[in-house]
A and B are shown apart, each in its own frame.
Chain A
Amino acid sequence: MTHIKYLVAAVMLAGANIAGAEDGAAILQGQCASCHNLTGPAPATLQELWNRKGPDLFYAGLKYKAAWMEVWLQKPERIRPAGMFYPDHVKSDAEGGDEIDDSTLVAHPALPAPEAKAVTAALMELKGKAELVTAGAYTPGTLSRSSGEMLFDKFKGCLACHEIEPGYGGLSGPEVYTAGQRLQEDWLASYLRDPHAWDPKVFMPNKHINETDTRKFIDYFHLLSEEGAK
């Protein structure tokens, strides 16, 4: 099994045409690779960060929940209110402040159901940087919404860049009220510990979140997602 993964990696790194291997992989190469990095590495310079057109997917199989992805690909909705890189999508308001210029944000391509399924299966095979994830790192706990929000806002200042409900919170980072549905818990634990190990130039700070708070954040994301689903 590991060998198969290495083979896939070798073929992809060599840039060979693997379209015949699997439908999903062929769609990825043909329709998605122009915006999404499927092989790594993540941007290592600001220039590369600015040029990034979509989220890196070379560790998609570690990061995303397959059930969410299959549905989202058929009916994609915006996750990053200000796009991939906010300066590309802001304009000046009347008082000289920055606001999002919605006209610059384009809708994501949607896939028919069978293709979404095939693509999801192919993306789940991509497990770059697997050494950063510890399986079972997250164990569920209980948390009230108010203590989660205290942690997210007052104590750690995350609200400055992330929305915790539509229309409330910061706009430069992805909304977190859907993070519980979208993202795998063990990946979240790893990312919160050290975002730059995944994405060296990302404009999220490393706040040195300890294990207890990491678990609380993930519990909190679950709470937010459950409320959103109602």
Chain B
Amino acid sequence: MKVLKVIVAELCVASLLLAWSMAASAAEKAADNYHTYCAQCHGVKGNGKGVNVRDMSVQPRNHTDSKEMSARSDDDIYKVIKEGGVAINKSVLMPPWGDVFSDEEIHGLVTYLRELCQCSYGK
């Protein structure tokens, strides 16, 4: 009887884990990812004035600033999201998100940032 319950419990755990791994691999919408992971520093409006900025020694980029944002290539933006600020010689305060997002989701965020700044590389 006990053994049976152990098996039942193990089956439950196994199916939960399966459900988890399937759900976790689904891509989230770029705007949703931005408002969950990025807005804490870059701001709910993307203006660089998130709830965390008070004591930050380097201020987060204003993603609505087309002048600043057009100075970066899509490849650099992709890289900084995946590997963090240090990967492009910027502040360690910009975290790496490669463990959270799929490559597809990072591409989605690059596109989303281009919408926010209404700009592209060089213009």
Residues in chain A within 8 A of chain B (CB atoms): 3, 6-7, 9-10, 13-14, 40-42, 44-46, 49-50, 82, 85-87, 90, 92, 95-100, 153-157, 159-161, 168-172, 194, 196, 200-201, 203, 205-207
Instruction: Give the docked Cα–Cα distance between A42 and B26 (Å).
Output: 16
Q: Does B32 contact A (CB under 8 A)?
A: yes
Q: Which B residues are CB-close (under 8 A) to A46?
A: 28, 32-33, 36
Q: Which B residues are CB-close (under 8 A) to A86?
A: 39-40, 51
CB–CB A172/B92 < 8 A = no
CB–CB B24/A3 < 8 A = no
Q: Which B residues are CB-close (under 8 A) to A161?
A: 40, 52
In this complex, what residue of B is CB-closest to A50?
B36
Q: Which A residues are CB-close (under 8 A) to B10?
A: 6
Contacting residues of chain B (43-72) with chain A, CB-CB under 8 angstroms? 43-45, 47, 49-57
Whole-angstrom distance from the CB of A135 to the nearest CB of chain B? 21
Q: A-B pairs with the 7 shortest C-beta distances?
A: A97-B49, A205-B95, A170-B52, A10-B9, A44-B23, A172-B40, A206-B99
Q: Which B residues are CB-close (under 8 A) to A82?
A: 51
Of B28, B35, B51, B91, which contacts A171 at CB under 8 A?
B51
In this complex, what residue of A is CB-closest to B39?
A87
